[in-house]
Chain A
Amino acid sequence: MNQLRVLWRASPVWSAVALALTVTEAAVRTLLMVGIGQFVGSLPASASARTWRWFLVVAVLLLAGPILQSSLAAVTARCTTAYLVHVFDLVAEVGVHPRGIGHLDTPDSASRIRAVVDATRDWSFVTGAGAIWLIIGPRLAGLGAIAVLLPWRWWVPLAVAASFLLVSRVFMSWISLAFDKLLETTGDARRRASYLRSLLTRTESAKEVRLFGLTDWLSDVYRSTWYEAMTELWRERRSGLGPVLLACSVMALTVGGAFALIGLDVTAGTVSLAGAVTMAQAILRLQNFGVLGDAGTALARSTSTLRALANVRQELGLPAIGPAAAQAESSRSTHAAAEVRLDGVSFGYPSRATQALSNLTLQIPAGQSIAIVGVNGAGKSTLIKLLCGLYEPDQGTVRVDGADPAVDEAARRRVAVIFQDFVRYHLPLRDNVVLGTATDDVLQQSLTDAGGLALLERHGWDTVLSTEYDGGTDLSGGQWQRVALARALAAVAGGAGVLVLDEPTAALDVRAEAALFERFLEVTRGVTTILVSHRLSSVRHADRIVVLASGGEGIVEDGSHDELMRLDGRYAEMFGLQARRFAQ
């Protein structure tokens, strides 16, 4: 079983203890059947010494059971914790391990990864982790019952156990069909329904849902989407019930036959009262090979989630159930500015028809500050992602200090970046600036340079930046942008040689922006700077400005602010457009 192997990987010690307890408990149960049989069997003989001896055995075994069960519960909780830590790590690794981010934004693989993440949030997942012991224990006790019955007629327990197994198999396959189907066939439709519901309940959409009065409409679409997905599923499930009922009739015949045989043997005198009582118990105990209720359901579901996870992992070249070998953590060896070269780079997203960039060539000498401007959709963000090695270009090469950032971790770590949609960690301010270890000096300096000192004075390093946590606070867009900037500056302090800023001041107000750019040159000294901005007043300070044409067609203008103004081309036109509003 997959789950056992994962448990073993997650915590060999706790798994072994749990297994030992489970085996012992099964043995106690089996011995108890024999003990009870012998005890009852000795009664009519009125040999009191023998009766009391078996009574003592039964008493001890009765008391041992609950002690074992309590210990198993405590051990299971620990085992489950280790298992969850391990599995969530495997899930996280799916997200962060591949070098690029293609698997996260290609619809097909992204939706399968999402389905796994969602399945881990179902009740059955955590329950299923502990349910394995509730399954193994009874099955072992069932084996004990077979052992008790073997000396009588070896084929009877096997036949009865087989019929129970048959029922169990048919039942479980019905369940897993029903629930695997839940994950696969109707997965998208169900996810769609959840998504529609989340639009109604989430903060992000709350304002517009109310402003545009979308509540009723979204509710209706949510309901109909859900029903459509589920009706199909219910039909499938019901039709799977037939074989289950058939298997139950087979089972009824074998169980009835077995009891009748015991009866015949008793009247024939070949089986004693003690034997009859023991064997009747044992035959009923064979039910343990049968259906095992919610624990079985939970286990089946969580196993199928694990299987889906393992499949996703293998497709990404990761080991199915163990973490991949740790990647060498590359340290940034140099602190010098980096040189950046793009040669004949073309790139198109798999999910889009048109090319995002075609045949782009750009050389940025170490230490230069360059600004990239262009209309929306000109490929600026794509250019940044390629530079960060998040995708490999379809054609051409990207080099940072001569190395390919899509292949060479060290080259990628030479890049520091603020993306437009930078991450807002629900973690303390400190971790939002540097996630990991950093000296207070670096933290303080970075936040100061980013103009965020007021934040620190107001909240301190340890306030969680989300109101969803006790004592947490939320920052405004502008405050967040300062934090993101501080994050990038800290990376520069840590040895990055290229600083990429994608609209770093979009949410900053005039004064903050002016203050930032006043110190910009000082802050970014000794590092190659690539600035993407729509605001040409900030762009003009760059050593060099590159204008990208719309539709990814490459560079149309390249030069300093003054040169481009003299050229009187697109840049001059855009600049004029913005500047005109300040002419009175």
Chain B
Amino acid sequence: MARVLATAVRVSPWQSLLCLFETLGKVLAALSPLFIGVFAAGALKQDLRQMLCAAAALVGSTAANTALQAVGVNARVRQMELVGHTFDAQIAELTARIPTLDHLENASYLDKLQILRDNENALGGALNTLINTINTLAYAVSVLLVAVTADWRLLILIALGAARLLTARWSMRWEKAAEEAAAAPGRLTRHLIDLTVSPAAGAETRVFGHQSELRRRIRLAVVGWRRPTVRSTDRNSALAGANSVLFFATAVVLLGWMTRDAMAGTVSVQSLVVAVGVLQGLQSVSSSFVSAVGSLTKVGRNCARFLWLRDYADEVAAVHTGRRQPPDRLRDGIRIERLSFRYGDSARDSLTDISLDLPAGSVVALVGENGAGKSTLVKLLAGLYRPTGGRVLVDGVDLADLDLIGWRSRMSGAFQDHARFELTAQRSVGAGDLAVLDDPERVLRALHDAAAEDVVNALPAGLGTRLGTTWPGGVDLSGGQWQRLAIARGMMRQSPLLMVLDEPTAALDAATEHSLFERYAEARRPGRVTLLVTHRFSTVAAADLVVVLDQGRVIEVGPHAELLANQGHYANLYELQGRGYR
């Protein structure tokens, strides 16, 4: 929390000061019962001067208060945006800097961090809450002072706040439970709403006639998302009601006592007027302490989430201590030794005891059916997962001893589930090698290497065209076109040590696939390993080495011809696919 405040002061000290204008306004507002009391006393004494002084003070607590508020709100909102952004940027950076991927594929992690990740400005909201809390507290303290000047007995009412503080714990527990119970249906609501406004999902919704069913599901999801909140509001308002009734009942008794004294002349009319006027304020004193604790807890929770993320990032970074830089070129190649991997809480291994030699300068094909573990192996090679057993050796150096960023900067690749970078075409491809991000020649060469020139040729403004229809002047691409840009991105880096092509041609037509395949074969370079991952056997015949995976194990390894001659699993599948062409 201190971090949020410190950040606020750091990003803009002057604005932070202006935020306090609002606080000053609150204090003036809190004093108004006192001014009214003075005014009433003046009226009783028929003292015009006293009444005019009180009137001037009351102007301060209304007009000046509003002016201060306007300036304060402007400063506060700006601070909130600025601080929110500062943290948003840090959160995004931290998330993206975590070198592995497990955290993005884990439900409990997502639950924890959804608020930070998806709600931009979560911590800006925290600052907002914090400033509001300061304001309410300043108000509360001023009210207390006013009450004390009126009559000491009013302090008894503050004691009742203890009951409130005790029950506040329940309220917070209810609220937290509601927040957690609402998370999953809230997520579903977002997902379903996104589907209704996505063109791709919209097409399917219409053809299948899902319109009203989808709307029905959204209604159900919203109800499910709100139900915990309604329930916790019921409980909280019943509790608050009970507390308030207790408070005012006590207040009535005290007022009665004061009234008797007033009649006896030991309590002044001014005190009684102040007492009556300050009651509402006094009630909110205890509740503002409660809500201050509540909002600070909430702020604390979001801050804790942030700290958790930071710790998590540190933890992951601490696990991976490798700092060695990868070699300039591979001498021997990549060696996989008894490698195993299991997803977080999965019951069985995704990969079991894999041992392989990927010689430098070779093109290796990794084939296998769905779920054989091909993509998992690729992610292990890229350091996106940490092996649960065994190791990967790059020219004899354990991948765990290599600097991951350095290693990845010497990799390149394209994936079937590629990202769609909705930037200009130039940058969407150029992102594959940031050093030459804005170099059109290099991008054109990569497009050539990916047989994707015609994708860009068809764009209205060529490489300068913005991709993605939700942007002004943005252009829509088909799935196949996006995929070819993703391949081109993978072709940007000049001399990777490891080139991974993880089924990047699944959505492409025969001619494109063919021309790409020719280029893959040319991709054979000394000092580099090219890994083709595919379930299409036709693309692998020219590979130097074919590795067949089945249910997380290597079942066959060898050159294409040798595997065919062996009449094993590979030959069987090759025959099956080739039959279609005979």
**One of B70, B234, B368 near A241 (C-beta < 8 A):** B70
Bound Cα distance A466, B132 (Å): 39
Task: Decide yes or no whether B252 CB sits under 8 A from chain A.
Answer: yes
A209-B96, A259-B58, A534-B513 given; A230·B81 CB < 8 A? yes
B193 touches A234 (CB 8 A): no
A219 touches B92 (CB 8 A): yes
Bound Cα distance A514, B529 (Å): 32
Contacts of B517 in A (CB 8 A): 581
Known: A248-B67, A476-B371, A478-B369. 13 other contacts (CB 8 A): A93-B215, A114-B470, A117-B194, A207-B417, A210-B382, A215-B93, A223-B89, A248-B70, A255-B62, A277-B43, A280-B39, A426-B188, A435-B217
**One of A237, A352, A419 near B204 (C-beta < 8 A):** A419
Q: Give, as a whole number of angstroms, the nearest-CB distance from B264 to chain A.
A: 10
Task: Decide yes or no whether A343 CB sits under 8 A from chain B.
Answer: no
Q: Give, as a whole number of angstroms, the nearest-CB distance from A56 to chain B.
A: 9
- Identify the stretch in B49-57, B139-147, B167-175, B316-324 within 8 Å (CB) of chain A at 4 or more residues: B49-57
- Identify the stretch in A133-141, A151-159, A192-200, A313-321 within 8 Å (CB) of chain B at 4 or more residues: A192-200
**One of B120, B132, B431 near A214 (C-beta < 8 A):** B431
Q: Whose C-beta in chain B lies nearest to the C-beta of A482?
A: B370
Q: Whose C-beta in chain B lies nearest to the C-beta of A478?
A: B370
Contacts of A422 in B (CB 8 A): 204
Task: Decide yes or no whether A262 CB sits under 8 A from chain B.
Answer: yes
Digitize A63-100: 1 where CB-to-B-CB distance is under 8 Å, 0 elsewhere: 10111011101101110110011001101111111011
Residues of B159-196 whose CB lies within 8 A of A: 184, 187-196
Most buried by B among A51, A426, A538: A426
A351 touches B369 (CB 8 A): no
A536 touches B39 (CB 8 A): no
Residues of A27-49 whose CB lies within 8 A of B: 36, 39-40, 43-44, 46, 48
Interface pairs A-B: 8 shortest CB-CB: A537-B580, A66-B244, A95-B196, A70-B241, A259-B55, A478-B370, A582-B578, A252-B63
Task: Decide yes or no whether B117 CB sits under 8 A from chain A.
Answer: yes
The size of the chain A interface, using a CB distance under 8 A, is 192
**One of A67, A93, A267 near B241 (C-beta < 8 A):** A67
Q: Give, as a whole number of angstroms, the nearest-CB distance from A270 to chain B.
A: 12
Contacts of B489 in A (CB 8 A): 208, 212
Contacts of A9 in B (CB 8 A): none
Digitize A419-448: 1 where CB-to-B-CB distance is under 8 Å, 0 elsewhere: 111110111000000011000000000000
Contacts of B259 in A (CB 8 A): 43, 51-52, 55
Residues of B479-493 whose CB lies within 8 A of A: 479-481, 484, 486, 489
Contacts of B335 in A (CB 8 A): none
A426-B191, A512-B369 given; A277·B36 CB < 8 A? yes
B263 touches A51 (CB 8 A): yes
A213 touches B71 (CB 8 A): no
Contacts of A217 in B (CB 8 A): 431, 434, 437
Residues of A391-414 whose CB lies within 8 A of B: 409, 412-413
Q: Give, as a whole number of angstroms, the nearest-CB distance from A153 to chain B.
A: 16
Contacts of A73 in B (CB 8 A): 233, 236-237, 240
Task: Decide yes or no whether B325 CB sits under 8 A from chain A.
Answer: no
Counting residue pairs across A and B whose Cβ atoms lie within 8 Å, the total is 537
Task: Decide yes or no whether B223 CB sits under 8 A from chain A.
Answer: yes
Residues of A463-522 whose CB lies within 8 A of B: 466-470, 472, 474, 476-479, 487, 491, 503, 506-514
Bound Cα distance A328, B200 (Å): 24
Contacts of B574 in A (CB 8 A): 582
Task: Decide yes or no whether B551 CB sits under 8 A from chain A.
Answer: no
B63 touches A251 (CB 8 A): yes
Contacts of A77 in B (CB 8 A): 226, 229-230, 233-234
A63-B245, A200-B93, A212-B489 given; A107·B470 CB < 8 A? yes
A88-B189, A256-B56, A263-B42 given; A197·B237 CB < 8 A? no
B48 touches A267 (CB 8 A): yes
- Identify the stretch in B97-105, B148-156, B300-308, B392-400 within 8 Å (CB) of chain A at 4 or more residues: B97-105
Contacts of A215 in B (CB 8 A): 93, 96-97
Q: Whose C-beta in chain A lies nearest to the C-beta of B243?
A: A66
**One of A55, A81, A420, A436 near B226 (C-beta < 8 A):** A81
Q: Give, as a whole number of angstroms, the nearest-CB distance from B473 to chain A.
A: 7
A43-B272, A264-B48 given; A326·B212 CB < 8 A? yes
Task: Decide yes or no whether A185 CB sits under 8 A from chain B.
Answer: no
Q: Give, as a whole number of angstroms, the nearest-CB distance from A408 to chain B.
A: 13
Bound Cα distance A214, B245 (Å): 59
Q: Give, as a whole number of angstroms, the nearest-CB distance from A557 to chain B.
A: 14
Task: Decide yes or no whether B476 CB sits under 8 A from chain A.
Answer: yes
Q: Give, as a whole number of angstroms, the nearest-CB distance from A535 to chain B.
A: 7
Task: Decide yes or no whether B293 CB sits under 8 A from chain A.
Answer: no
Task: Decide yes or no whether A336 CB sits under 8 A from chain B.
Answer: no
Q: Whose C-beta in chain B lies nearest to the C-beta of A191?
A: B470
A96-B196, A105-B469, A204-B419 given; A476·B249 CB < 8 A? no
